[in-house]
Structure 1
Amino acid sequence: MPAIKSLTVLYDALNEEGTFSEGDTIRGKVTLAVEKPTAVQSFFVKVKGDAQVRWTRSGNQKHAHSAVCRYLKLKHFFIEESSNGRRCKTVLPPGVHVYNFSFTIPSTSMPSSFNGTHGKIVYKLEAKLSRSWKFDKTAEKKITFVSKFFPHLQCLMLKQVAVKDKELGIFSSGKVHMEVTVDRKAYAPGETAVVVAKINNNSSSDMTPKVHLYQVIVYTASGRTKHENSTVNKMAGHNIGAHSEKEVSWAVKIPTHQKPTIKNCKIISVEYFLKVYLDISFAFDPEVTFPVIIIPPNLASASHHAGPPAMNPSPAAPMAWGFNPVMSSYDSPFLHSSSSSVLHPPLNPQPFQPPESHPAPSTPSYDPLPFMGATNFLSQSDEPPPAYSLIFPFSANDE
């Protein structure tokens, strides 16, 4: 009969979706059931988050590209192994043992959970029990991490506008003008992007306006990249005849379970783009492309409540929009699994030396020449102008 009957790890959900973000606290418990007295060397639970990428490139020879990047690792011991190298054993009596734990996720930027064709970003809890001359007993529980690191969020709620002019040739003649407006840049899953296109078809060809929302995933490993494109939504408008004008609008729905944008991971990025174009036979299609950011629903509701940023921020508060010119849009420094944080002490401050006191210089006095305030040269009509020496008296210092 095995000594360990079961080992499970559970956590308390913070919301209906069961997600966690930067700064949240994960609370839970590890339950261990043993059938007979069991000697344990160490027993702990940890939370970790890793990004992994792997794909194979075909050719004359197959080349595998892989990369791993760690973003989170916190550990809590229930039974700690001796630090002096001696393996002290703790004997657990038969029965059910429950251990509570608590982890506070750092407030630094970390990418959201992700699962793709050539890579994944996984956050999980793992309990591990070690015994002498026995296989380790482990239990895992995945957690869904949703990053809330989206700088300049209020600016992402402003509308986007683009204009495209194209001269047609060969099989068509004339020019096409297109002005496209998108109501904003950031959307939550389930929301709708409102797209309006004003089209002036001053050419001899018919054309069909279309809109295309697509996803681009980029995997990076060994200095190489692997791209993966997929369509999220695609819509078409009515035909626009030659030498005519028309305004077309679309309501582009963001799927409810669409993955969020990821731009703060070194080896995996997930981006979205909205392309509006005119489908013209036997011609290069004029197009405009807008970036689209998919954000968590709670951030979207908070940003809608806050409203758009003020267009004329006061000079005394240049950071009112949350803009930091030193920080990049989404990237931040990360630690690889082989790296470590080092806290350096501050430099010794130099003692303050007050400046030597000097008497304040007296304010220079200016005495205008007597005639400057009493003489009006423009009003003199009969008298000759004053002599040069009268205006600029001779000084001995000029010799």
Structure 2
Amino acid sequence: MQKRNVSHKNTSSAESGDGRDVLAEGHHEFNFTFVLPATGVTTSFEGKYGSVRYWLKAEVEKPWSFNHKTKKAFTVISPIDINRNEYLTAVESSVEKTLCCWCCTSGPISLYARTDRKGYCPGESIAITADFENLSGRTVVPHATLHQTQTFLAGGKSRSRHCKFTTVTGVALQPGRSANWDAQLLKIPAVSPSITNCCLIHVEYAVRITLQIPGAYNLFVDLPIVIGTVPLRARPPHYRTVGLPSQPQIHFYPAAPPYSEADTDDPLPVEPPPTYAECIEGSVDIGDDEDGEILGDTRFTPMYAYVQDYLYHPPPAYSEVDPHPSPQAEGAASGVSN
């Protein structure tokens, strides 16, 4: 696939002149301001075959000597608000297969899975509900994995990379048995948000629920989800807040002011704004051949919104018994009368 670079440059000189002002010996400071476009800006991303990268580059020309150059990257986050109705709807799917060995056919193996909603932010856990039925003669094992698909487009060709992040494994399911998951949690690490507004790079996510079958192709369903940047304004039903787990490998940074849309005036309680964590995939070197010699560190790690997790609590089981009976009802139930 041919490499293709698309760049937008905004240049500012030290003064209002032509950028060739002479600076006397001593310490000098200059203020620079660059305004990002209000719309159409893609989230920073570092991939194997391409990147979306924003940086500042400063240069001081020195007569009869090499110029001093420095380059610093920064993270830009395009808002994806998971409070939108389209991201609050559950995602579900089911699949079934029958195993055959020569002339013998076993009973079917079936799988149904559902997420509690479609949109999440890094730091949250996906609550998975699943039903497994194993009527075959083999022992199967359920798994759930967070999958990321990176698609790179250039020169009329495309190239993809598939990454696996967190995984949970269930209890082995013996032949003739069934089982279910009731809000099995799958943690979302500090990964890039979904990217769909870029003509060259797409980043998509799915939760894959798999039944691992020995000696046969595995049975699985993919539940597409969206990783957003604007967290829920109110806790979902049947959740309660828990503290962040100890993750020394993740660096957290202070929160920014909460994002708000002009057309949003819902009277929902506002949760604390997210912190920001360095991307789980680590740092990259932003230097290239065109830069020449750069002063300072050129390593860069994107930072993404990372919210406080919620602990999922399934809704209470339905019952005809009043959990808060009146004294009269209690007396009638026990056969006691005044």
TM-score bin (small chain): 0.5 to 0.7
Q: Is 1:156 aligned with 2:87?
A: yes
Return the offset for 1:142. Answer: 1.5
**Residue 178 (structure 1) aligns with:** 111
SS of equivalent residue, structure 2 residue 191: coil
Give the superposed CA RMSD: 3.0
Aligned length: 236
Contact 1:272 1:291 survives alignment (8 Å): yes
Amino acid at match of 1:77: S
Provide the residue aligned with 2:45 in structure 1.
114
The answer to whether 1:96 aligns with 2:27 is yes
Q: Distance between the aligned counterparts of 1:89 and 1:226, measured in 2?
A: 44
Tell me the equivalent position of 2:168.
235
More relative contact order, 1 or 2 (CA 8 Å, 6+ apart) = 2
Counterparts of 1:245 and 1:305, CA distance in 2: 32
Equivalent residue in structure 1 for 2:155, among 198, 213, 222: 222
Higher strand share: 1
The residue matched to 2:193 in structure 1 has which SS?
coil
- Structure 2 residue 169 is matched with structure 1 residue 248: no
2:134 matches 1:198: no
Q: Return the match for 1:289 from 222, 228, 236.
A: 222
Identity of aligned residues (%): 25
Q: Conserved in 1, the CA contact under 8 Å of 2:142 and 2:172? A: yes
Deviations 1:205-263 (A, max 9, x none): 332222122222222222222222221022221122223322124211111x2222222
Q: Verify: 1:68 aligned to 2:5, yes or no.
A: yes
Structure 2 gap ranges (5+) = 238-262, 265-338
Distance 2:70 2:159 in 1: 33
Q: Offset at 1:137?
A: 4.0
User: Contact 2:82 / 2:88 at 8 angstroms: preserved in 1?
Assistant: no
Quote the Cα distance in structure 1 between the aligned partners of 2:21 and 2:181. 73
User: Residue 81 of structure 1: CA displacement?
Assistant: 4.8
- Tell me, what secondary structure is at the counterpart of 1:181? strand
- Deviation per CA, 1:269-291, whole angstroms, max 9, x where unpaired? 22222111222223333221011
Aligned residue for 1:240, secondary structure, equals coil
- SS of 2:86's equivalent? helix
Alignment of 1:1-399 (within 5 A): 65-70=2-7, 72-81=8-17, 90-130=21-61, 136-149=67-80, 153-170=84-101, 172-249=105-182, 250-255=184-189, 257-296=190-229, 299-302=230-233, 304=234
Q: Quick one: structure 1 residues 128 and 156, their matched pair in 2 at CA, closer, same or farther if it must change by over 3 Å?
A: same
Distance in 2 (CA, whole Å) between partners of 1:306 and 1:229 is 30
Q: Distance in 2 between matches of 1:89 and 1:223?
A: 42
Quote the Cα distance in structure 1 between the aligned partners of 2:20 and 2:200. Answer: 42
Query: Is the Cα–Cα contact under 8 Å of residues 207 and 279 in structure 1 kept in the other structure?
Result: yes
Q: 2:258 maps to which residue?
A: none
SS at 1:156 equivalent: helix
SS in 1 for 2:30: strand
> CA shift at 1:190, angstroms?
1.6
Q: Which has the larger radius of gyration?
A: 1
Distance 1:119 1:176 in 2: 40
3-state secondary structure, aligned to 2:172: coil
Tell me how far apart the structure 2 counterparts of residues 210 and 129 of structure 1 sit (CA, whole Å): 56
Q: Is the 8 A contact 2:110 2:133 kept in 1?
A: yes
Match of 1:254, as an amino acid? I
- Call closer, same or farther: CA 1:177–1:220 in 2, change over 3 Å: same
How far apart are residue 153 of structure 1 and its match? 3.4
Judge conservation of contact 1:187–1:293 (CA < 8 Å) in 2: yes
Whole-angstrom distance in 2 between the partners of 1:150 and 1:67:
30
Q: Per-residue deviation at 1:108?
A: 1.2
Asked whether the equivalents of residues 109 and 149 of structure 1 are also in contact (C-alpha less than 8 Å), the reply is no
Cα offset, 1:145, TM superposition:
1.2
Partner AA of 1:252 in structure 2: L
What does residue 336 of structure 1 align with?
A: none
Q: What secondary structure does 1:146 align onto?
A: coil
CA contact (8 A) 1:160 1:185 kept: yes
The 8 Å contact of residues 165 and 178 in structure 1, kept in 2 or not, is answered as: yes
